[in-house]
């Protein structure tokens, strides 16, 4: 698995832990990393950055997800799905030089490992719609 994909997976896991455990970002970081001594510095740094962006810009990210997930309230989505979406949208916002299709594809690869099979099409559709919105906002 590539460094960036591993980072994306770790960021989703951190978001999942915070979401499910109702933990603050500081609590997540202090509990998450001690058992992961096999993660290199580059992988960890990118994962932490995605996690930081996703938590700092949580309201903006949730609004984007909610606006593009037709007939789905974010709190009713499976926990894995909403945190995969949050991590991917955080990357779209924080890393404008990374093409949207790459972010989407990498997120779907992580989803194939953690999400239900029927979630893949849902995640793809929501992320594609959000990517178009984010790109349109960059062009303004």
pLDDT for 23? 95
pTM of the full structure: 0.93
What's the rounded Cα separation, in Å, for the pair 114 and 22? 20
What band does 1 get if pLDDT is binned at 50, 70 and 90?
A: low
Q: pLDDT (tens digit, 9 = 90+) per residue, 15-63?
A: 999 999 999 999 999 999 998 888 999 999 999 999 999 999 999 999 9
Q: Is there a contact between 53 and 96 (Cβ–Cβ < 8 Å)?
A: no
Domain ranges of the chain: 3-139
What band does 139 get if pLDDT is binned at 50, 70 and 90?
A: low
What's the rounded Cα separation, in Å, for the pair 78 and 38? 29
Tell me the chain's radius of gyration from C-alpha atoms.
Answer: 14
Q: The domain 3-139 belongs to what CATH superfamily?
A: NusB-like (1.10.940.10)
């Amino acid at each position: 698995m590539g460094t960036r994909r591993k980072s994306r997976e770790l960021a989703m896991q951190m978001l999942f832990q915070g979401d499910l455990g109702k933990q603050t970002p500081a609590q997540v970081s202090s509990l998450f990393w001690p058992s992961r001594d096999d993660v290199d510095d580059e992988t960890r740094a990118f994962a932490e950055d995605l996690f930081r962006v996703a938590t700092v810009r949580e309201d903006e990210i949730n609004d984007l997800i909610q606006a593009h997930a037709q007939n789905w309230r974010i709190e009713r989505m499976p926990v894995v799905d909403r945190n995969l979406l949050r991590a991917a949208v955080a990357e779209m916002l924080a890393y404008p030089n990374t093409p949207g299709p790459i972010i989407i594809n990498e997120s779907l690869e992580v989803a194939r490992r953690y999400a239900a099979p029927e979630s893949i099409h849902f995640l793809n559709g929501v992320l594609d719609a959000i990517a178009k919105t984010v790109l349109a906002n960059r062009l303004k």
